[in-house]
Amino acid sequence: MKTELEFPETLQEAIKYFADEQRSFEYMKLIRWPDGIVRCPRCESDKVSFISTRKLWTCKTCKTKKQFTLRVGTIFEDSPIKYDKWICAIWLIANAKNGISSYEIGRALGVCQKTGWFMLQRIRLAMQQGSVKKMRGICEADETYIGAKARYMHKDRRTGVGDAGIRKTPVQGILERGTKKKHSRVVLKVVPNTRRPELCGNVREYVLKGSTVCTDSLMSYDDLESDFDRQMVNHAVTYARGHVHTNGLENFWSLLKRCLKGTYVNVEPFHLFRYLDEQAFRFNNRKDENGDQGRFEKAIAGIVGKRVTWKSLTGKDDPQLELLPA
């Protein structure tokens, strides 16, 4: 039987565990400074003193802005939401296979929809992979288009040149196939177009030179043959030729679009990369040996050194954008 102090493995246990404000504070402190040494986020000095009544520190080195809290330098900065709600939100989004909407977060945590949306965008920032280890072995490269179908568009937005030209947003995916020792992983990137420099450049960035890269018959990938063992499958003839196929990415595209269309309904192009980071994070950690707990710990470990403001998300820091939340 579990003791009270054992780390939670389910959402219900997490709610009980982090309901204690002091315990939440100590846990976030450990995430913020894993080595146990509190440092000023502005000057990195460890000459600080703790004010327990206000739960903040005073830096003895800085000349201005001497005081700082645990939230400074994380995705929680300037947020009035308590840690127990933040932790529950991170647990939910890290373990919801098809994502979780801002309305659902608002109902579950007792906040408004805008606050829930802002929280989710901050958490997606924490889920960003950062530098990705080079892929090797057998890889797949493919692209898809995110956007409304032509029959749902106004006639002025239809270009009449097929799905690729209906002002959709192209997304390229690169997948490293799994082996007995590791499962497959994916990297996603929003691209301005599907021409050779963009697609081949991304493959060279993420895939180790000399690896096998399976693609469809798109001519933009022809340039890969000089650096990779490029294998092509013509989808007009067949979808698989032995190990030569892109079915791994086709499977991922179905998961991604189920998430975008079923849960989020509509995603603006300027926010799309955040949703891609979220789905790639869950896919790459789908077989974590610690299950929900492991995915939660990996997501919350990315909160440090990242910050996004409401103005930057909504375009209000750029008078030419003035974009609304999606």
**Residue 201 in domain:** yes
**Residue 121 in domain:** no
DSSP code at position 260:
I
Q: Give me the tens of pLDDT residue by residue for the chain, a chain 326 residues long.
A: 344 457 888 999 999 999 999 999 999 999 999 998 999 988 888 999 999 899 999 999 888 878 999 999 999 999 999 999 999 999 999 999 889 999 999 999 999 999 999 999 999 999 998 767 899 999 999 999 998 776 766 776 665 545 445 578 899 999 999 988 889 999 999 999 999 999 999 999 999 999 999 999 999 999 999 899 999 999 989 999 899 999 999 999 999 999 999 899 888 888 999 999 999 999 999 998 899 999 999 999 999 989 889 998 987 765 444 443 43
**Residue 130 in domain:** no
**Residue 158 in domain:** yes
**Residue 142 in domain:** yes
CATH number at residue 185: 3.30.420
Confirm whether pTM is higher than 0.85.
yes
Containing structural domain, residue 255 = 138-267
**Residue 184 in domain:** yes
**Residue 156 in domain:** yes
Burial of 261 (0-12, 13-18, 19+ CB in 10 A): middle
The total of structural domains in the chain comes to 1
DSSP code at position 34:
T
**Structure tokens given for 79:** 């947020």
**Residue 204 in domain:** yes
CA atoms within 13 A on the CB side of 210: 0
Pick from 74, 60, 61, 62: nearest CA to 29: 74
Cα separation, 282 vs 183, in Å, equals 13
Tokens 């043959």 belong to residue: 225
